[in-house]
Structure 1
Amino acid sequence: MKIEHWSLRLRVFLFFAFLAVVAISGETIGLYLGFARMEKPTAPDGFVFAGVIAGFATLAAVAWVWFLFDEHVARPIQRLAGGLLARAHADVEEAIDAKTARYLGDLAPAAQAVTANLAATRNKLAETVAQETTRLVEEKEKLTALSAEMPHGVVLLSGLHKIAFYNGAAAELLSADHAPGLDHSIFDFLRARPILSAYSRLCAGEGGDGHVLPLTVATVHGAEVLSARMRLMHAPDEGDISPPYVLSLDDVTTDLALHTEREKLLSKLFARLRPSLTALRTALAARAESGPQNDPRLDAALIDEIEHLTGEVATLDAEYEAHKSDWWPMAQVRASELCDALSAQLSEDDMTLAADAPDPLALTLDAVQIVTLLGHVARRLSQEGGRAFSFLVSRDEGGGAMLALGWSGDPLSVDLLESWLAEPLDVGLADMTGRDILDAHGTEVWPEFGRGSRAVLKLPIREAHRLRRSFGDGRRTATYDFDLLSRTPPKELMESPLADLSYVVFDTETTGLLPSQGDEICQIAALRVVNGKVVKTERLDQLVNPGRNIPASATAVHHITNEMVQDAPKIDVAGRQLHSFARGAVLVAHNAPFDLEFFRRHEAGIGAKFTNPVLDTVLLSAIVFGQSEEHTLDAISARLGVKIPPEARHTAMGDTIATAEVFIKLLRMAEEKGIRTFGDALTEMRKHKRLLQDANETSGT
């Protein structure tokens, strides 16, 4: 190893060791030469005695001087260097403590002046940049919100087929066994063959000037079929033979299923009607040939065939009625919200409505159409003398719900109701009537007598039946890092630059500190770090049922009680979630061997091994600040200006956020010390292995 890679304290120690060796060697040589000039045989004992005394005295003096130099010069210089690095790369606001370098003359004041000037310059630059970028940030937020609410999934991928952008609809489309994340391969979610084929064709010049090709692709698990359009960001050239591209995705699983059902219904229609029609034609031909004297058996056969034909048509019509509403886009609407909407609409006509609905109860319908229809009928009833309106939503044993509009007054005739249903309604579509609304929902409405002088109108709703996927209800955000588009092909791990790797920072809370004696995990938290930034929308925060009692002493630390985890998944499920979340990433933790030991004990139940490469913030801190410093999470955070709210400390997510911020800053500081690849970091961490066991020895790195 090159001498410039040695630590300052080691080099100082070696210098004084060399000085001691030279001094003792010089004394030994001098005594030997003095003895060689004497001719007294008893002199050696005296020379040896004098040499031992001189050697110990020299060694003690050198050791004492080395100790003073190490304590007041080498160690303060190391602390001063760490402080300067922290303020250069970690935005630490506190001034350097001059007491740590009080014996270094003007060096500490000079360092204070440099860091103060750096902080002032940085603040001024930050203010200028903030002023200049406010407009860009606002525009970015608007575009992000717009893309997040797009009804179609949009994914931007690099030429390596790694995700650099995805919106909320894409997240829901791709989420199955695991959620998508930046720098993940699209082939973790979609079948590779159609995508690779379309991409190679586009790169070869197909798709016209727009560089666009349509394709159909299934998800990896095969549950959904997606219609997609692939567009190259730019035409391939010599400098970029693998250009990035955009995939727009739409779930056509329901459409295909509906098309299949309709094809089956048509096939069934023809298969059932063809024999009956043939039999009728035969019977009619025979009856015509029989002349005026009709055979009663022919009339009976005709009647039987007509009744059979009528029955078949009725059966097929019922099947058609059961499925004809599936094409209309519906949404999940809370019953209480439906009541509020109807009350608000009637209040515009000074009509009061007593509404009630079980909560929570979600109805599958087009809320605008149903509310408009019920409001229209209520207004017509009011014109006919109806009063004291009420609206009730109740559960249906068949899996749906029943809407009941009640009033005091005369009951409603079916003919009058049908005339009202034939009137056009303003629901945003031209010439749509109440009857059309009922048909779109695959339902019917009818009047009934109520209690006393009240009458009621009933309208059944099917709660959920083969609905289209409703996008954007869960993740209303867009996640992106466009720098990933220029990412070079990955190298072998040990040669991979630290800046090019993706990381998952995680932490756990446990029932105790002894996994070998039965302690278990009761909470897991994890964040993804890509391109040196925390991806805020990609996180895991999961309580875990440890399968044993959580001691009061542990609850006092992390505030997790037995009641909080009784319905939580066990470690086999939660462990699979973390393993999926961390696929293809380097695991990062503070004292990683401790946390990983809990997972590795359950790898059989989890069904996967945690073989990810591992970085530990304890060892990274030792690389940057030296082993002599304190390397607790609180101590490192204080040195790097990372503030941990007291209420977040010793919670899995709170500690994970702090560890992620510490890790990002330590990584920048380590690069300043020449540690640029994962192999460099691993080599340096193993020099400090006395602090922790090497988590990579178990992971196989």
Structure 2
Amino acid sequence: MRRLRRLHLLLLAPAVLLAAWEAVALFLVIAGAEPGARPVLMQALAGQAPALALWWLAAAGAAAFGLYRLHQALIIGPARLADAARVLAEDPNAPPIPMPDAAALRGVARAINALAQKNAALRLETDRLVEAATAAAAYQRDQLAALMAEMEQGVIVCNPDGNILFYNERASALLSPQFPAAHAVGLGRSIETLLDPALVAHAREVLDTGTAAEATPRFVTALADGRLLRVGIVGVRPVNAAGPLTGFILLLDDITEDHRARTDRDARAAALAETMRASLASVRTALDLLDYPDLGQEDRARFEAIVRDTVAEMGDRLAAETPDNGDNPWPLHDMRAEDLIAVAARRINAAVGADVACALDAGMWLRVDSFAMASALAFLAARYGMKAPALCARRAGDWAHLDLSWQAASTHPAVGWQVEPVRTGDGVLPFNVRDVAERHGGEVWSVPAQEQERPFIRFLLPLAEGRPQTLAGPSASRPVYYDFDLFKAGAEHRALDDRPLTDISYTVFDTETTGLNPADGDEIIQIGATRIVNGRLLKAETFDQLVDPGRSIPELSIPIHGITPEMVRGKPRIGEVLPAFRAFAAGTVLVGHNVAFDMRFLQMKEAQTGIRFDQPVLDTLLLASVLYPHEASHGLEAMAARLGIATSARHSALGDAMATAAIFLKLIPLLVSKGIVTLAEARKASEASPYARLRY
């Protein structure tokens, strides 16, 4: 807008100058005439006024036209040439520069196109060499991906920050939300948004405490839909097994049906035991009668037959109904007592703010649910305000005693402490202290203070059968199953605004609507989105959902978006779709083309749905106007053509989102070349665009 105003002022300048020159000339002519001749002169000039005005208009128009041509040739032409050259420098696949109108610039355009062709040829050769050098790595990566895709277990690979770097289809299916299109599992997302953060944090603490071979925590967690998942976590360390974790791998199994079947079998066994009491009573009665010395041979044989038949029947029923007490669905894992006490001590310290004294027998291994044990110990210490807490683990035959002791002056646990639900800072856990002991097949009790001794609570825990088998150490023949950089930690502690555009995850989205006016009752009828992570468009991670608008779709709009009333009939309403879309976009920056329009529709639904999208937003329309200030159009199709992007499925929400994502990826290096590197700089540049003043 400012440039247009300057151009208008430039074109008006000749008219103003000519008018001023003509006025000064007339004044000098009249002033230099004799006083008596001035009236005659003025009358003569008045008669020539139309001719003078026509001359002024012609001269001013010619001068303005000349200035406009000069402006186009010397200012706009070179500026457009510079913009196009900048695109070619960043993207060798961009279309060649069109020939400018100014003949003087055509030679420059040809030279730039020739250099761009040579640059493209060099890049192609470089890409060929890089591709050849990394072919082995790609082959190994594809082997790993194919292997994990065929696994019956869900597999998720995370970096040290807990962000997902790899997952297979099984993991996606196990953690699928209400809307499968929302892809709850996605690259760059935090695993703590999918699984209980407390369980994940505890498992990672166990991994940090032990070595990769010694610490393999497992836990069972319930999903929102009631399904049970058994999760095993394996730490990833450098080949020499030294240094901190570089990532971790989660293995997921759905044990819902197994757990339900086990529960049903246990219920049947309990019912069987109840019904067999009558049989046992019959046997006992028959045995008592057999003790009578004067019982006749015929009666004795009859009672012996009753005992044999009843016992045989009971054996058959027991064999058919006894539940299989195989693997515990709430799994225990082998863990060094030293590691368990270290984890529990940190939890107690965080709960009561006191250092924990620790003692134990050397070399002892326990078979435990470390999360449940550490949570129970920290809960007891905090619940009863234990002063100077201490932990001690000692062998006791085939079992171990794990004692939590405290100063005698502290409050002693009240009656019912074993069945009080375990609480943490995040809420109430689904078990009590008694459950924890029974989960280990052990016992728990409290011992009051005695002479020279502190009161304590003792857990009876099973010893591990033996030290877990140590994994083979690194050797020259150790197979390498991956050769790509999965495990670099991110910089999540930095403020989002200060992060480079290339390091941010984005959700690129678009909407189709019944019309252009949400305030007048127009509604969203489709939301489409895709994700960009680490500078890569994730075409497999998309959100594509039709929405029942609850109103008619104007016939005039149907040819534009192609969505008919029949297509949205029976689809979810916006109140159901927006929570799924918010989950899909969680933790990312929103991107759209002319996104103010889409955001207005979302904002109009905040009061109705309670869903608010408050993350940062970038608009490719505004960014394009910053990069191409001299271009007349910044529409989606014009931008795609300018950047050499092929578009398809236009005017569908997902198709437009895909096109916008491809454009955004092309814009990022152009923004960086102009010194717009961080999110804050991109937002500031967008605010300065004249298009930022548009309102919907």
Instruction: Say which SS state the counterpart of residue 486 (structure 1) adopts.
Output: coil
Q: Give the total of aligned pairs.
A: 501
Which of 172, 181, 189 does residue 184 from structure 1 map onto? Answer: 189
Q: Distance in 2 between matches of 1:306 and 1:605?
A: 73
User: How far apart, in 2, do the equivalents of 1:84 and 1:203 lie?
Assistant: 52
Q: For 1:289, which of 289, 292, 296 is the aligned residue?
A: 292
Alignment partner of 1:560 is 2:578: no
Residue in 2 that maps onto 1:539: 542
Q: Distance in 1 between matches of 2:499 and 2:240?
A: 26
Distance change (3 Å), C-alpha of 1:83 and 1:157: same
The match for 1:523 is: 526
Going from structure 1 to structure 2, the CA distance change for 1:318 and 1:81 (only over 3 Å counts) comes to same
Percentage of identical aligned residues: 32
What corresponds to 2:203 in structure 1? 198
Cα separation, partners in 2 of 1:161 and 1:62, compared to 1, 3 Å: farther
| 1:230 counterpart = 2:234 | yes
**Distance apart, 1:8 and its partner CA:** 13
Change (3 A) 1:305 1:589: farther
2:170 pairs with 1:169: yes
Task: Please show how residues 622-661 of structure 1 align to structure 2 within 5 Å.
Answer: 622-626=625-629, 628-645=631-648, 648-661=649-662
**2-structure distance, mates of 1:539, 1:692:** 31
1:303 and 1:627 map into 2 onto residues whose CA distance is 106
TM-score by length of 2: 0.62
Q: 1:101 to 1:132 in 2, by over 3 A?
A: farther
The amino acid of 2:72's aligned partner reads E
Helix, strand or coil at the partner of 2:251:
strand
Q: Which amino acid aligns with 1:230?
A: V
Pair 1:492 & 2:464 matched = no
Q: After superposition, what is the alpha-carbon deviation per residue over 1:106-160, rounded to whole angstroms, capped at 9, x for unaligned?
A: 5434323322322232333344445555565455434322221111122111111
Question: Do the aligned partners of 2:79 and 2:630 also contact (CA within 8 Å) in 1?
Answer: no
Per the alignment, residue 144 of structure 2 pairs with 143
Could you tell me whether the CA contact under 8 Å between 1:627 and 1:688 is conserved in 2?
no
| 8 A contact 2:589–2:617 mirrored in 1 | yes
Distance apart, 1:618 and its partner CA: 0.4
SS in 1 for 2:488: helix
Decide whether the 8 Å contact of 1:161 with 1:186 is kept in 2. yes
Q: Deviations over 1:261-287 (max 9, x none)?
A: 334444443344346414531453145
Cα–Cα, structure 1 residues 556 and 517, in superposed 2: closer, same or farther, change >3 Å?
A: same
Shift in alpha-carbon separation, 1:568–1:299, aligned structure 2, 3 A: farther
Matched residues in 2 for 1:73 and 1:316: separation?
Answer: 98
| Distance of 2:260 and 2:527 partners within structure 1 | 39
Aligned position for 1:447: none
2:208 aligned with 1:207: no
Identify which of 610, 615, 621 aligns with 2:613: 610
Return the alpha-carbon distance in structure 2 between the equivalents of residues 194 and 574 of structure 1.
29
- Specify the alignment match of 2:96 in structure 1: 95
Residue by residue over 1:355-383, the C-alpha shift from the partner in whole angstroms, topping out at 9 and shown as x without a partner, is xxxxxxxxxxxxxxxxxxxxxxxxxxxxx
Instruction: Kindly indicate whether residue 590 of structure 2 is the aligned counterpart of residue 578 of structure 1.
Output: no
Cα deviation 1:525-577 (Å, max 9, x = unaligned):
11011011111221111222222222222221222222222132222222222
Instruction: Tell me if structure 1 keeps the 8 A contact 2:512–2:527.
Output: yes
Query: Aligned in 2, Cα 1:319/1:658: closer, same or farther, shift over 3 Å?
Result: same
1:165·1:480 contact (CA, 8 Å) conserved in 2?
A: no
Q: Distance in 1 between matches of 2:484 and 2:634?
A: 32
| Cα separation, 2, equivalents of 1:299 and 1:271 | 28
Shift in alpha-carbon separation, 1:73–1:550, aligned structure 2, 3 A: same
- Please, which moves more after superposition, 572-581 or 528-537? 572-581
| TM-score, normalization by structure 1 | 0.61
Superposition deviation, residue 319 in structure 1: 6.1
How far, CA to CA, are the matches of 2:316 and 2:114 in structure 1?
Answer: 92
The alpha-carbon deviation at position 621 of structure 1 amounts to: 0.4
The root-mean-square deviation of aligned C-alpha atoms, in Å, is: 4.6
> 2:78 is matched with which residue?
77
What is the distance in 2 between the residues matched to 1:621 and 1:585?
21
Residue matched to 1:549: 552
The verdict on how the C-alpha distance between 1:257 and 1:112 changes in structure 2, with shifts beyond 3 A counting, is same
CA drift of 1:226 comes to: 0.9
How far is the alpha carbon of 1:661 from its aligned partner? 0.3
Task: List per-residue Cα deviations over 1:489-548 (Å, max 9, x = no partner).
Answer: 242122122111111111122222222222222222110110111112211112222222
In 2: Cα distance, 1:571 partner to 1:277 partner: 63
Q: Distance in 2 between matches of 1:229 and 1:305?
A: 53
Taking a change above 3 Å as real, the CA distance of residues 513 and 211 of structure 1, as seen in their structure-2 partners, is farther
Give the deviation of 1:317 after TM superposition: 7.8
For 2:610 and 2:639, the matched residues in 1 are separated by 35
Could you tell me whether the CA contact under 8 Å between 2:154 and 2:170 is conserved in 1? Answer: yes
